[in-house]
Amino acid sequence: MTGAATHTPLSAEDWPSDRERWPVVLACQNVTLSIQQSLHDCQVLAPFGFDARRPAAQKARFFLGGHSDHQNRLAEAVVCIFRLAPGNYGTESNFDSLFPSPSADPAYDTMLRFASSPIFGPSFGRFVNRFHS
């Protein structure tokens, strides 16, 4: 396992014939105020001097708080699931905007250096995804 990730745009004619393999989009809504308390910004590395750019670029948030009767609290917020039919869908995002390079994302650069270090790399390097060659 190398941890290398790739991105290949999918044209409409290349989509799988099996509908179950078509991508889905989940629409979520904070149906209760209690779910809002479970959403946390991804700034846990900031106190250590690392500016993680990818979570900001992807508008990512951590979802915490599933417990007791609400072990799958995120499912409570899902209001609709859309299965995308083959097509060409426009977006303002692209690979480079969603996955900043190591030179633009200090936290990602640190993870890559950690993964290739002689001390930690052999044991943990395979768990770090590489989005840039």
Q: 16-30, 42-56, 118-132: which range is least confident on average?
A: 42-56
User: How high is the pLDDT of residue 71?
Assistant: 65
User: What are the sequence ranges of the domains in the chain?
Assistant: 19-87+96-125
Who has greater pLDDT, 85 or 47?
85
* Contact yes or no for 2/116 (Cβ under 8 A): no
Q: Which long-range contacts (CB under 8 A, 24 or more apart) does 111-116 make?
A: 115/3
Say how far apart CA 87 and CA 34 lie, in whole Å.
37
pTM (global) more than 0.75: no
The three state secondary structure string of 115-128 is HCCCCCHHHHHHHC
Percent of the chain with pLDDT over 70: 82
Say how far apart CA 122 and CA 125 lie, in whole Å.
6
User: How high is the pLDDT of residue 86?
Assistant: 92
Strand pairing class (39-41; 78-83): unpaired
